[in-house]
Structure 1
Amino acid sequence: MKIKEIELFAINLPLIDPFIISYATYDSIQSIIVKMTTDDGYIGFGEAVPDEHITGETWEGTFQVLKNHLAPAVIGLDPRQFEKLHDLMDHIVKPAPAAKAAIDIACFDIAGKSMNVPVYQLLGGRYHEKFPITHVLSIGEPQKMADEAAAKMAMGYDSFKMKVGTNVKTDVERIKAVRARVGEDIAIRVDVNQGWGNAATTLTALRGMEELNIDWLEQPVMDNDIDGLVEIKAKSAIPLMIDEGLRNERDMREVIAKRAADKANIKLMKCGGIYPAMKLAVMAEMAGIECQVGSMVESSVGSAAGFHVAFSKKIMGSVELTGPLKFSKDIGNLKYDVPFIELTDKPGLGIDVDEAVLAELTVFSEKITA
């Protein structure tokens, strides 16, 4: 089996509501879909959702990296040779993780389909039967966020991730408002997306949050400030999760060595796809660091890939892959039974891509052949 052709589709995925986090507001999500075809007719889909603030990649740049470098290089290779594929991509360009993830995911989709098994069977088999889905509250006025949480509770959600990261006083008011509305039994996770900047500001915020029963605090400091996480972790009882500061094996080694975090948010777009995500999960498991598979607000393609990783590893305690629930139009049919996700046993990623919708959302495209 050899990769014969790769088609690239740069698309805009329309959001139902704007998604607001500490460093940006999104009205739509810019994604690149890879359609990979083999010489014996198997078709796999992959996805790249780059973010210049997190992966260091732009939408346009990622398309060009795929078009001019990665896609031509993997034409003619066996899509099931994951180690060799990643070694080749790593020699061609560094780091470009979202671009590599698109190739990686499409290869896993093909491998599963060719063997007539779900991707999670290629990763050690299914461990979890289902995961509860955490609803993400984007930044808003305190009472607006509390109202949204109450409405989602009525739909069955029992955990929330709150996006904060503006100024400490207002952020604490947001958390207090949501906690007061949802009660004490609902899980609240707080994601700062680097917005508090440093350990001193974060510790000030934590003094206002001590009685709010927070599940964990995620990435309060800048992504390169591992020592700042160490200081916060030493001075606070609230569990600490690393996200933007964890991209690759080198980052994970430093986190483990310094005991800088209690939890790790592994995202396929940050690390380069399914194969490197599994490596990070194994490293975390050896160090006793609980993991989740997080979201870059991917379509059904990227979200399904993340779920296969999460379902296959015991160390995964949570998932936040809610992109398809946020779109007014999606290219795939990943199924949610809100507030749960339950993967099927269909081969590959287990989803169907609606190519008519894909064409409708495409801004520009390219085909690469041998």
Structure 2
Amino acid sequence: MKITQVEIFAVDLPLIKPFIISYATYPNIQSIIVKVMTDCGLVGWGESVPDEHITGETPHSTYAMLKNTLAPLMIGQNPMEFERIHELMDKTVHRAPAAKAAIDIACFDVAGKKLDVPVYQLLGGRYHEKFPVTHVLSIGEPEDMANEAAQKVTEGYTSFKMKVGQDVMADVKRIKAVREQVGEEIAIRVDVNQGWGNSANTLQAIRHLESLGIDWLEQPVEQDDIDAMVEIKSKSTIPLMIDEGIRDMNNMREIIAKRAADKVNIKLMKCGGIYPAMKLANMAEMAGIECQIGSMVESSIGSAAGFHVAFSKKIIKSVELTGPVKFSKDLGDLKASYRIPNIQLTERPGLGVTVDEAILAELTRQSDLIE
């Protein structure tokens, strides 16, 4: 099987409401969709949602990278040779993980279809039967966040990821308000997205949070300040998760060596796709560090790719892949698998996602065919 054509689409995915985190507000999500076509007639779908604050890639740069470099590189390649595909991309382009993730995901999708198996069967088989779906609360006023959480509890949600990171004491009020509203049985995870900046601010917040039963505190400090994570972990009873600070194997080696986190948040867009994500999960497992699969708020395509990784690995204990339930219009049909409070994958081959090409055309701003 050989790749004969690659089509690239720049799309705007419409959110039901703006997504607000410490460093940005997103009225919609700019995504790059890749369609890989093969000489046997099979098609694979991939996705890239870059974030210039984390990977240094923008939607424009990612589109250009795929159009001018990575897509032409794939013509004539066997999409089932994952190690070779990544070596070829890495030798040609330094980093650019979100762009590479689109190619990687499309290759896994078409390989699964060729073998008539779900992608998780290519990764060691299915381990988990289902995962709880975590609702993500964007930054807002304490009362508004608490009321939204209360409403979601009535819909069946049992865990929340709170976005904070604008001001330490205001964030403490937000977290306390949500805890008071939902009670002690509901899981709360706090994601600062680097917003508290340093260990001093973080430790100040922790003094107010340690009695609230927080599942974990995620990336409170600047992404490259691994030593600050070490200090916080040594002085806190709240488990510490690293997110923006774990992008590749070099980061993982340092985190393991310094014991800088209790948990790591692996995202396909940060590391380059399914194949590198599995390598990171294996490294974490050897060190006894629990993993989560997170997202950059991808469509059904990118979200399904993350789920296949998560469902195949014992060390992956949680997922936060909520794009399909946050969009007012999606490219695929993964939303049907969200059966609150859980998600269960289908047995369909490849990613298991049917792409609606009419909606893709409607949401596309730009497209190019490489052959």
Matched, 1:241 2:241: yes
Matched, 1:197 2:205: no
Q: Deviations over 1:252-283 (max 9, x none)?
A: 00000000000000000000000000000000
Question: For residues 338 and 38 of structure 1, what CA distance do their matches in structure 2 show?
Answer: 37
Q: Deviations over 1:220-252 (max 9, x none)?
A: 000000000000000001000000000000000
Question: For residues 246 and 3 of structure 2, what CA distance do their matches in structure 1 show?
Answer: 31
Question: For residues 308 and 228 of structure 2, what CA distance do their matches in structure 1 show?
Answer: 32
Q: Give the structure 2 partner of residue 257 of structure 1.
A: 257
Amino acid aligned to 2:142: P
Q: Give the structure 1 partner of residue 37 of structure 2.
A: 37
Tell me, what secondary structure is at the counterpart of 1:298? coil
User: Offset at 1:154?
Assistant: 0.2
Q: Deviations over 1:281-322 (max 9, x none)?
A: 000000000001001100000000000000000001000000
Matched, 1:21 2:16: no
User: Offset at 1:94?
Assistant: 1.4
Question: For residues 149 and 12 of structure 2, what CA distance do their matches in structure 1 show?
Answer: 27
Alignment of 1:194-343 (within 5 A): 194-334=194-334, 335=336, 336-343=338-345
Q: Give the structure 2 partner of residue 48 of structure 1.
A: 48
Q: Deviations over 1:335-356 (max 9, x none)?
A: 2112211001100000100000
Amino acid aligned to 2:9: F
Question: For residues 58 and 189 of structure 2, what CA distance do their matches in structure 1 show?
Answer: 28
Q: Give the structure 2 partner of residue 67 of structure 1.
A: 67
Question: For residues 54 and 84 of structure 1, what CA distance do their matches in structure 2 show?
Answer: 26
Question: For residues 233 and 292 of structure 2, what CA distance do their matches in structure 1 show?
Answer: 19
Tell me, what secondary structure is at the counterpart of 2:64? helix
Tell me, what secondary structure is at the counterpart of 1:208? helix
Matched, 1:114 2:114: yes
Question: For residues 84 and 74 of structure 2, what CA distance do their matches in structure 1 show?
Answer: 10
Question: For residues 100 and 223 of structure 1, what CA distance do their matches in structure 2 show?
Answer: 21
User: Offset at 1:46?
Assistant: 0.1
Matched, 1:358 2:367: no
Tell me, what secondary structure is at the counterpart of 1:60? helix
User: Offset at 1:181?
Assistant: 0.2
Q: Deviations over 1:30-75 (max 9, x none)?
A: 0000000001101000000000011110000000000000000111
Question: For residues 94 and 29 of structure 2, what CA distance do their matches in structure 1 show?
Answer: 24
Question: For residues 88 and 330 of structure 2, what CA distance do their matches in structure 1 show?
Answer: 32
User: Offset at 1:176?
Assistant: 0.2
Structure 1 length-normalised TM: 0.99
Amino acid aligned to 2:5: E
Tell me, what secondary structure is at the counterpart of 1:285? helix
Q: Give the structure 2 partner of residue 145 of structure 1.
A: 145
- Of stretches 334-343 and 24-33 in structure 1, the one that deviates more from structure 2 is 334-343
Tell me, what secondary structure is at the counterpart of 2:209? coil
- Structure 2 unaligned segments of length 5 or more: list them: none
User: Offset at 1:92?
Assistant: 1.0
User: Offset at 1:148?
Assistant: 0.3
User: How many correspondences in the alignment?
Assistant: 369
User: Offset at 1:4?
Assistant: 0.3
CA RMSD of aligned residues (A): 0.4
Question: For residues 236 and 353 of structure 2, what CA distance do their matches in structure 1 show?
Answer: 42
Tell me, what secondary structure is at the counterpart of 2:83? helix
